Amino acid sequence: MTEIRRIAINTGGGDAPGLNAVIRAVVIAALNRGWRCTGIRDGYNGLFLGDTYPNGDGLIELTRQRVSGITHLGGTILGTTNKGNPLRYPMRDPGGKVIEVDRSDEIMRGFRRHEIDALVAIGGDGSLSIAEVLHRKGLRVIGVPKTIDNDLDKTVITFGFDTAVSFATECIDRLHTTAEAHRRVMVVEVMGRYAGWIALNAGVSGGADVILIPEIPYDLAKVGQALQQRFEAGRQFAIIVVAEGATPAGGTHSVVAREAGRADRLGGLAEAVAGQLQELTGFEARHVVLGHLLRGGSPTTFDRLISLRFGAAAVRALAEGQDGVMVALDPPTVRYVPLNEATARMKRVPLGCDTILTARELGMCFGD
């Protein structure tokens, strides 16, 4: 294995609180080993679209000073993108039609040209699948599991999730008082793509009456019945938490946009559910979409610590000669799992998990 002199770091996909903490930990741990650190801007764009950046500035030298004081900051100092997956990069053919092109060989040439010996790829399933392809093409890669959705397999948790759940829970708390004051049904939509982790954890913690998640297709009539019973019992308001990727039984996802080179954009479910329930039950219903608020702000203490631990572990992995692995939380420790195992399938909420059992025992309805 060649000696490491210079590593690169990139952040891909939707941002998540904790990205800057990971970057800081990687940079300091690497500099302390005598390695240079380069940040790639906006996923892989800074590497293979470098000339489009002002002053050709797609790569940033990451010094101790550049990562000073960023642990608590949301966002990412490197920028990120969830458009233009380089394996399915949208381009126009001579006839003007949008086609998807695999540009991974250009990326590999970029790493060689800049004499980068290894990459720490911080991302969710999409970004880590790209990193896995680069690893198969010969790049030394360590992945760090990021996403507010918590849908990456082989790690107990991804960083960013705890911050998203904490904020969603706070919002549910706030909705309780206004729902009760107006005797309304409040339907709150949270992100999470095709997994219900955020909705489930925030819904249970916030004491929701109904939680709709992608793993349990819902029947609106059953949700209506649960509301009727609650109102008849004298509790004349209700909180419903819906995951953006939940579906009615036999129905499909609520998609608001579809574009080449990127994942479908989900949305619109809370509004639809609120309207349908108002019609069905006669109870006044309002909807709130928390959306990108869940991705913003400072990481919680839990997310800061796990991000710093993941970042330091990624550099330790490289120093130990690991390659093609993702650092993963396996309490009480952090371990390494092959990238191809981590990205092989989505981690969805297991139907028999303790949190779902708890919710059912507390009388919460999943619409099934």
Kindly list the catalytic residues.
149
Residue 191 is a binding residue for ligand F6P (CB under 6 A): yes
Q: Which of 25, 116, 144, 148 binds ligand F6P (CB under 6 A)?
A: 148
Angle at 17 between CA 154 and CA 8, to 5 degrees: 70
User: Rounded CA gap, 56 and 268, in Å?
Assistant: 40
Q: Which of 11, 45, 82, 104 binds ligand F6P (CB under 6 A)?
A: 82
CB 262, min distance to ligand F6P, A: 7
User: Rounded CA gap, 30 and 245, in Å?
Assistant: 39
Which tokens is 244 given?
């953006």
Residue 14 is a binding residue for ligand F6P (CB under 6 A): yes
Q: Which of 18, 79, 123, 192 binds ligand F6P (CB under 6 A)?
A: 192
Of 59 and 152, the one with the shorter C-beta distance to ligand F6P is 152
CB 123, min distance to ligand F6P, A: 10
Residue 325 is a binding residue for ligand F6P (CB under 6 A): no
Helix (H, G, I), strand (E, B) or coil at 35: coil
User: Rounded CA gap, 192 and 151, in Å?
Assistant: 8
Q: Which of 266, 306, 326, 342 binds ligand F6P (CB under 6 A)?
A: 266
Residue 348 is a binding residue for ligand F6P (CB under 6 A): no
Which tokens is 238 given?
């209700």
- Which amino acid would we find at residue 297? G
Of 160 and 224, the one with the shorter C-beta distance to ligand F6P is 160
Place of tokens 């458009």: 83
Secondary structure E strands in the chain:
6-11, 36-40, 59-61, 89-92, 98-101, 118-123, 140-145, 185-190, 210-212, 238-243, 255-257, 265-266, 285-289, 325-330, 333-338
Of 110 and 123, the one with the shorter C-beta distance to ligand F6P is 123
Q: Which of 295, 304, 309, 347 binds ligand F6P (CB under 6 A)?
A: 295
Of 199 and 306, the one with the shorter C-beta distance to ligand F6P is 199
CB 227, min distance to ligand F6P, A: 27
Q: Which of 71, 129, 147, 169 binds ligand F6P (CB under 6 A)?
A: 147
